[in-house]
Structure 1
């Protein structure tokens, strides 16, 4: 699956299904009209943080952008020059209302996440390496086997200050 082409088509389809102009989509997502247009024209790949903003503004689960409907392929979101690789383990489940992702964060990488929709709860479990998490403005380090549950509807961040890739799972629960 060509992830950039998939993101382009999915964004355009979701926006048009709502009857939103690019201007309105920019207002709702906090992503500039120019950037949204570039993504829709497949001229630019969004970062994970930008894609989260778009998903939140459109009120859809993040994994909607990663699902191709072509099993058994497991899409990977790894935009150019990205230090963060996201693989959906369990795409959004309508009945249970969650996504589960496997995420790799390169040494020195930082990903800041804007608040998700109200009531979203995130569960992070470190599989290998160490992961610094910023929740409520404070950083804390999680090591392999440790986890953290927090309100995803507040700004938060992920940082790898260690020498090896940090591998973690993120379960996002939607109210």
Structure 2
């Protein structure tokens, strides 16, 4: 299967690996990503998760934003930049109940990030602490979500916005019987 609508990350990974004179086996050992998965990514036969991409960028010592930026096809500078739906990175939880679409530009990672979140009934996003001073702003667009942060929890209904610490363990969960959708903005201080 070829993922024609997604950024071409595989060739960038391969180019960076070869520039460092690493074999697939060596990069697999450095990143913790299997050799077969690396091969599939480089040949554009697999769509890697955010966690896999993060592991690869750390092993290759490249910025995640540089990886994504290098994978997009250069185009003329338009006063209005539009990212096609197929080029918007997505993160899906292992259980498939949570989906995050990364709406912020790659160059903003680590400063300000925003996501379109969909959580099915029973789904939960558990997050380790982000950088010191980080905070999240979650606006529920449909349904109801539960937020837990700093030992407190609150229910947030459609149209409401919750602001909370994200430099501690925190969680967004859907305890209702219907799917929920929200806009999440993560701000780093």
- Bin for the TM-score computed over the shorter chain: 0.5 to 0.7
Q: Which has the larger radius of gyration?
A: 2
For each residue in 1:61-108, what CA deviation from the matched residue of structure 2 results, as whole angstroms up to 9, or x when unmatched?
79x7699635531325154751112223332454x9312211111111
Relative to structure 1, the CA distance from residue 165 to residue 97 in structure 2 (aligned partners, 3 Å threshold; closer, same or farther) is same
Gap runs ≥5 in structure 1: 26-32
Distance 1:83 1:9, change over 3 A: same
For residues 51 and 148 of structure 1, the distance between their equivalents in structure 2, rounded to whole angstroms, comes to 30
Q: How many residues align?
A: 166
Change (3 A) 1:152 1:162: same
TM-score (norm 1): 0.64
> TM-score scaled by structure 2?
0.60
Residues 65-76 of structure 1 aligned to structure 2 (within 5 Å): 69=72, 71-74=82-85, 75-76=88-89
1:117 aligns with 2:148: no
Task: Note the C-alpha offset of 1:117.
Answer: 2.2
Correspondence 1:18-57 to 2 at 5 A: 33-34=32-33, 38=37, 42=41, 50=51
Contact 1:66/1:88 (CA < 8 Å) preserved in 2? no
